[in-house]
Structure 1
Amino acid sequence: MSQVNQVKLGARFIADTPHRISHDRCLWAARMRRDKTASQIPEWEEMRNLASQIKLHTLTYLDRYLEMSETRMKENGIHVHWAEDAEEHNRIIYEIFSSHGVRTVTKGKSMLMDECGMREYLEKRGIDIYEADLGERIQQLDNQRPSHIVMPAIHKLRGDVAKLFAEKLGSDPDIDDPHYLNSVMRKDMRQHYIKADAGMCG
């Protein structure tokens, strides 16, 4: 998948009024839900500060925590692999799959795998990857990268998804009801779950 030209695509998106309005509305609604939840928890700021301190501490001593984690996992019979970079990460996964004859994989949402370009790496080597997350699957079918870390297809209108699903999955292009579109995705993924040689999450 090629590098994203954010400036060019951003300008085009801003000029597309229906998509821009929908995107703004969805992000605003998400922010309002977050603020409503925060307002109902008196210790919200205290919890945020504590979480920030825990994160900073963990990152400061990450080497120690990773080694501790490896020890605990091995004690529970889990195999641990270390990778220095994306290339090694992808190669290790490919070697594991190859050794087990894996040709079809269903994959849960994983930013690490996405950042490493794992799906593209494996697909070039004959392993089919099917994204199980709805937003990630939409983006996969459209051959696009996620546009948001937790809302990968937030930039798309329901009509965009209806048209995409009709083209790729054979559904009705005139039905953009979210429940219908979700059912189309579930029906399509069910066949991949049944046939999958392996599953991944991250």
Structure 2
Amino acid sequence: MKTTYLNNDAAQYWWLMFCSGVLFIGLGIWMLAAPVSSYLSLSLLFAFGMIFAGIFEVTFSVSNRKRLHGWGWTLSGGLIDIFLGGYLLNLPLLTMVIMPVIIGLWMLFRGFMAISSSIELRAYGVLDWAWLLLTGILIVILSVLIIADPLFGAINIVVWTAFAFLLSGIFRILLSLQLRSLARNLS
């Protein structure tokens, strides 16, 4: 029996994924516009961004738990966002030292989730699934660059993180629009 990503009405809360995408794009633009901001403020902003994006994803997955097959993956991603965001918020000095690795691992997880979601959407016949796959691959590449050289990541954390946020936001917006379109086509 084939497990699918969603059924006919699972995407009614597509706008929550859209909101998290807009939030990530906003964070990415802010980071590029203000690169001289302190490293501490970046960790705090990142923490709040992760917490709110996690809340959006948890709400999306719980709202669709009866309609979304594999909803636990989206729930776990949101819970990880909330947990890491809370950690970053409560220990900002320690976080400044290990932030490149935390961001790299978090983005790696998100990149693989993006790749998986695009493959699931392909099974539904979504034509633009390849763009979602490409976005997920780019997220993985950026995360590997951050993890591979944490010192390089610390020096360039603002730029790399901004690009990773932009890509993650673009993915979430594209995914939400595909979910909305798919829900319309299936109903």
Tell me the TM-score range normalised by the shorter chain: 0.3 to 0.5
Say which one has the larger Rg.
1
Q: Which has the higher strand share?
A: 1
TM-score calculated relative to the size of structure 1: 0.30
TM-score calculated relative to the size of structure 2: 0.32
Q: Which has the higher helix share?
A: 2
